[in-house]
Chains A and B, each alone.
Chain A
Amino acid sequence: MKQTTSGQGPHPDLITGIAIIVVAGFLLLRTPDMPTMSSLLPITMLSTLIGLSVLMILRVFAATRSERFKAPRHQIFENLPRFLGIVVAIGLYVASVSLIGFYTTTAVMVPLVAWSFGYRDIKRLLLADLIFTGGLAIIFALLMGQDLPTEFFIR
């Protein structure tokens, strides 16, 4: 894991700490409606999350002033455009599964994603796609009898 001691923008731990406090605070607001014993552990956990996040934020500030405290800045994205591409591809895949069916989506998306992310041997790609999608169909449709989102052309 790459890590740097300095960097531009706010420290990732600072952003994470603030995000945890906001979410935990919001969830904590729902506990007063709960029966006392049901709310015991949620209150404990959410308060601890907030307390620990405050400590993490304080550590970031302390690290900028003193060398005794360490808050290494970890690099989050190896390659941001590729990461965003993956998010879009996964979103597209999940949406298409519901819309046009599982096997059709898989048969189209697997080679498309692999090709987009650098594997350009079309022949092998299509062969792998055929084996993979066919294998899934054998396992789920024939052996397990599992219903997966139906194909648009047989609805």
Chain B
Amino acid sequence: MYGSLIDALPAVLSLGNFAAVVLGVITGICIGALPGLSATMAISVLIPFTFGMDPLVALGMMAGIYNGAMYGGAIPAVLLRIPGTPAAVATSFDGYPMAQQGRGGYALQVSVVSSAIGGIVSAIVLMLLAPPLAKVTLLFGPSEVFWVAVFGLSAIVFLLGGDVLKGLLSACFGVFVSLVGLDSISGYDRYTFGHLELLDGINIVVLLVGLYAIPPAIALLEEVVDVDTSTAKKLNTTSLWKAFPSMLRFWKTWLRSSVIGVFVGILPGAGGSMAAFLSYNEARRASSNPEDWGKGEPEGVAASETANNADTASALIPALTLGIPGTAVAAVMLGGLMIHGLQPGPMLFRDNPGIVFGFMWQFLFAAILLIVLGGALATNSFAQVLRLPRPLLGAFIITLVLVGVYSINGRMFDVYLMLGFGFIGYFMDKLKFPLPPVVLGLILGGFAEQNLRLALRIGGGDWTALAANTTSKVLIAMILLVILMPLFSRLSRRKKSESTA
């Protein structure tokens, strides 16, 4: 089972593939360091550019960007109290007070070491868990696959938090978008309105780039932000290796936060920010000096950063084995796999072991590279990224997405479509409609429909055939649990508050 893992290693260590990971980590740290730009956005912008590349080079860059951005988010969180990514909010609680006390450099060093540890644990868990899980899911038939898709959609809507009604609306919109184009079974063209460009359906990259890259680019141009970057100039950073021994006392926090991060990563719907908050709270509860937390306690930075990097590779466990991305970044990465003709799911492990296992190694190397590339000198350099002018950056991103999307098929129609999704994404974002369910709806919609119809055909049109076997029943029970769990917890909270009152 793990033989393919070793076989994939030489290809990953080739110069081109390794350089892609290095470049990805550096880009990711820079993107993560820029408030308002996320790993999801960076990977969305990158995907069209990887179209002509070797799949492993493209995936290596994505793995690097993901890991790099999760650490990069800590830079403005520590120096400016503006989290570069949502997952870095908890890092600012203690990181910023440390910067104010003149220990910003040390806070960033704790961040980079903790991020690397979280990332390494996550990559190892991905390597250990994904292959056996893929073997199990190979046994799934169409009805089970249909329920798995429904489970993925319900999990992201109900576990994401926020407004469930808007989450459901987002998911339905995503599923509807997946229906546009030629019906692969009956050959009927649905909602193409005579546009031949839509016959193949809506390219996932067009949707991803529109939803995730256009809104932040608009925000960069729209908001007048005068960021004081003076703290970025004076970090008081010493060598990382000199500072490392003083961090060894965080080993318990690293361990606990890694476990939390990995678990949250596997859970569909939850993301890096949830992992960071949970881990921060747990570490604070276990601490002997909880009263110092929030005033510049480096262990708080370690807890948050370990967890938000520990959810990176583990979020790909359901994505690679079942084709269900648990987070927005995982969904975007699946989009990246798909444009290289790789269909996520158990078949990926059987048909393309070199690529899928190579991708896992790249996650591990990206996490290790964080320490090398995010060392003392580099941290000082990355902090200067904060001084990039926002209007120029906004103009660059819009140009990059336009040229990237155009280059996929060499037609302006995709650009118009992408801009349309971009403005929809902008308004959805402002009105608090979650975006991940749209992407998941697009990925799983067609997948669910195909398997539903296949299952019905096998069952002779009998709908009860969908729940005929035990696995399907278990999956239905899990779906019900995911849907009802938030309802029960809300009821119990209300009861509790009423009894307190």
Interface residues of A (CB under 8 A from B): 1, 12-13, 16, 20, 27, 30, 34-35, 37-38, 40-42, 45-46, 48-49, 52-53, 55-56, 59, 72, 74-79, 82-83, 85-87, 89-90, 93-94, 97-98, 102, 106, 109-110, 113-119, 121, 125, 128, 132, 136, 139-140, 144, 146-149
Contacts and interface: CB of A to CB of B under 8 A. Distances in A.
Given A82-B221, A118-B224, A37 B185 contact: yes
Sorted nearest first, the 10 A-B pairs with minimum C-beta distance are: A117-B391, A114-B392, A113-B395, A119-B389, A119-B391, A114-B391, A76-B430, A38-B183, A45-B176, A38-B188
Contacts of A45: 172, 175-176, 179, 445
Given A83-B218, A144-B52, A148-B406, A94 B399 contact: no
Contact of B431 (A46, A74, A89, A97): A74
Given A117-B394, A148-B403, A12 B179 contact: no
B70 to A, nearest CB: 22
A140 B404 CA distance: 10
Interface in B367-404: 389-392, 394-396, 398-399, 402-403
Contacts of A13: 431
B416 interface: yes
A98 B412 contact: yes
Contacts of B394: 113-114, 117
Contacts of A93: 398-399, 402
Contact of A132 (B223, B399, B416): B399
Given A117-B394, A148-B407, 15 more contacts: A1-B432, A30-B191, A41-B179, A42-B190, A46-B176, A52-B169, A53-B169, A76-B427, A79-B224, A85-B221, A113-B395, A113-B398, A114-B389, A119-B389, A136-B399
Contacts of A102: 403, 406
Nearest to B164: A52
Contacts of A72: 432
Contacts of A37: 185-186, 453
* Chain B facing A: main interface SS: helix
From B52, B218, B395, B399, name the one whose CB has the most chain A CB atoms within 10 angstroms: B395
* Chain A facing B: main interface SS: helix
A54 to B, nearest CB: 11
Given A16-B431, A86-B222, A42 B179 contact: yes
Given A110-B396, A119-B391, A56 B169 contact: yes
Nearest to B428: A16
Contacts, number: 151
B419 interface: yes
Interface string B143-173: 0000000000000000000000110110011
B449 interface: yes
A49 B166 CA distance: 10
29 contacts: A12-B431, A20-B169, A27-B176, A35-B183, A37-B186, A37-B453, A40-B449, A41-B179, A42-B176, A42-B191, A45-B172, A48-B172, A56-B165, A56-B169, A74-B432, A78-B219, A79-B222, A86-B218, A93-B399, A94-B412, A102-B403, A102-B406, A110-B392, A110-B399, A114-B391, A117-B221, A117-B395, A118-B224, A119-B392
Contacts of A82: 221-222, 224
Interface residues on B, range: 35 or more
Nearest to A118: B391
B16 interface: no
Contacts of A119: 389-392
Contacts of A12: 431
A110 B395 contact: yes
Contacts of A146: 52, 407, 410
Nearest to A112: B395
Contacts of B403: 102, 106, 136, 140, 148
A48 B410 CA distance: 36
Nearest to A121: B389
A48 B175 CA distance: 11
Contact of B445 (A20, A41, A53, A113): A41
Nearest to B166: A56
A79 B168 contact: no
Contacts of B396: 110, 132
A90 B419 contact: yes
Given A1-B432, A46-B176, A56-B166, A114 B395 contact: yes
A41 B419 CA distance: 26
Contacts of B445: 41, 45
Given A56-B165, A90-B419, A144-B52, A49 B430 contact: no
Nearest to A147: B410
Nearest to B389: A119
Contacts of A113: 221, 391, 394-395, 398
B415 interface: yes
A36 to B, nearest CB: 9
Contacts of A41: 175, 179, 445, 449, 452
B222 A78 contact: yes
B431 A76 contact: yes
A119 B392 CA distance: 7
A16 B396 CA distance: 31
Contacts of B172: 45, 48-49, 52
Contact of B176 (A30, A49, A114, A136): A49
Contact of B165 (A1, A40, A59, A149): A59
Nearest to A27: B191
A78 B223 contact: yes
A93 B406 CA distance: 14
Contacts of A117: 221, 391, 394-395
B190 A38 contact: yes
B46 to A, nearest CB: 12
Nearest to B400: A136
